[in-house]
Structure 1
């Protein structure tokens, strides 16, 4: 998304993008945490699955939108500035929604890790595995961008990886749900 911002936006629009990415990232992280931590539903299992579904839908829609916009921009090659609100808003919105999705996804992943085990050692291993996979993905992304690559290709790769990751992330969510089920069962047995 940084290459996208640098390619199609003026300097002042990129500065706005840098500022707004911090603002929407913070708000998205707060929202993602609130969805799983605030008791808007009595079942933690429902909180986990509902939040996953919302984040998966938002992230999927964002990457589909990014591919659509990139396909248009590869032909029109716009230079976007906030002076042209209609064209700017469509393109800038993709960037902001990607930042929102990123904040919510990262927060949710760490929430899952925190709930998969009470052992600090296990949590460190899970976090290290996550960071290793993320680093490999970043290295792959830089490798793709190191050679002249049209941005529609990178957006399509990211979109494909998003959909590829959905079953695995749902599996992780189900592991958290199963742990909550076990804890609820243990509490019920202790209460009897």
Structure 2
């Protein structure tokens, strides 16, 4: 039997193990991976459903109207309801508030398969819009503020890969479950599988660390602790408003608003009009899987470009801008050629992967549509990360981003629900993207060099001189 010395050894070993676990859990990249997994399960599976065209239903109008309700609710809550709650309670509570609304929406679609209760689908879409505000504001604040400045491109790339792997795997699940389907709508098992994965992602949010417990490589914390309920919601709301007004004095963020507006604008055209109206159900599932896999590829590519060590941050901003401009106009040019060809066929939901060469061209176009989505949104997040280094300032910018992203998406889905001609929808998308890039150019050219260590964010006054305390905390 061991004596006191042996017990001391076991005690010290246990403390060392707990300290190591805490160190790993509190690192920025671990938190990036965890929030990526939450998004893999929740919005990733939602994207897999949306990527089927009409959320897997034969009539896409119900899904389009539900998406309008979702995006309108997101736009209304992302800048008003969410930021004060984020300030009071931090990202974990926001994720737990928002995460359960994803399986609710999937359940509403399952119900629609049997009851055709469109009101329930639309109402669940609106509830999901509020929940999505909580999830995405928390996610954005974590992604753009937890890592050090010169590692934010890598963090964005990691997130985009894991998050979109969810959409890819979800679409492959649908592909397998509906391979022999001739009905044009997905089966109950598809929605049930999505619900189970979404529920797991919601529970995973309990592992997210608050900013004051996240310790960067240089020893600084990612941000201060949440304020709690001591100041109350109304006082917190006023405080958030004052902070937003202060953050809004940076003119560069306002020039990015058109880019934010466009960030989800093309989803309705690509998912319903291109994928939903052109391809068979099983091919839509396959296309959806590759669309999200393309986003993984796109996230890696642009994340690597935006973290090139031998370029300054202003140079990386210009490189990212040029890359998005060139790839965007090339891809949408291919989209114009496809749309003219598709219109000439006069067919609906007819193109299948069994058609061989005829399928290859449209398939690759849809793949590159997915990659471009990653290029565009990753660049928007990187620009926000370059303007805001603290979690609370980042939450303001992400709230602004989500508000205008949702507003643009709601307009686009309403255009889609009103059955505007496909070529008109493409033209609107392309014109808005070009105009947004033009307006954003002065903001891109005004990006400043990365701050030096010790001046990383506006919370550094709470962090300096406490390196030893941070390293030994357990």
Query: Which residue is 1:95 aligned to?
Result: 366
Q: Aligned-residue CA RMSD in angstroms?
A: 2.0
Q: Write the mapping of 1:56-95 to structure 2, written as runs, cut at 5 A.
A: 56-78=325-347, 79-95=350-366
Query: Which residue is 1:173 aligned to?
Result: 444
TM-score (norm 1): 0.86
Contact 1:29–1:104, Cα closer than 8 Å, also in 2: yes
Secondary structure class of the residue paired with 1:80: coil
For 1:17 and 1:169, locate their aligned partners in 2 and report how far apart those are by CA, in whole Å.
Answer: 31
Match of 1:2 among 271, 275, 284: 271
Contact 1:67–1:155, Cα closer than 8 Å, also in 2: yes
Give the drift of 1:35: 0.7
Give the drift of 1:121: 3.0
Q: Residue by residue, what CA displacement relative to the aligned partner does 1:52-96 show, whole Å, maximum 9, x if unpaired?
A: 101111112212221221122112135322223322121122211
Give the drift of 1:36: 0.6
Q: Residue by residue, what CA displacement relative to the aligned partner does 1:135-155 show, whole Å, maximum 9, x if unpaired?
A: 111111111011122211111
Query: Which residue is 2:283 aligned to?
Result: 13
Secondary structure class of the residue paired with 1:148: coil
Match of 1:48 among 303, 313, 317: 317
For 1:123 and 1:161, locate their aligned partners in 2 and report how far apart those are by CA, in whole Å.
Answer: 25
For 1:87 and 1:169, locate their aligned partners in 2 and report how far apart those are by CA, in whole Å.
Answer: 38
Instruction: Rate the CA distance shift 1:124–1:171 in 2: closer, same or farther, 3 A.
Output: farther
Query: Which residue is 2:419 aligned to?
Result: 148
Query: Which residue is 2:301 aligned to?
Result: 31
Tell me the number of residue pairs that the alignment of Structure 1 and Structure 2 aligns. 181
Instruction: Rate the CA distance shift 1:57–1:134 in 2: closer, same or farther, 3 A.
Output: same
Q: Which runs of 5+ in 1 are unaligned?
A: 188-192
**Structure 1 stretch displaced more, 65-74 or 79-88:** 79-88
For 2:339 and 2:443, locate their aligned partners in 1 and report how far apart those are by CA, in whole Å.
Answer: 31
Greater gyration radius: 2
Query: Which residue is 1:110 aligned to?
Result: 381
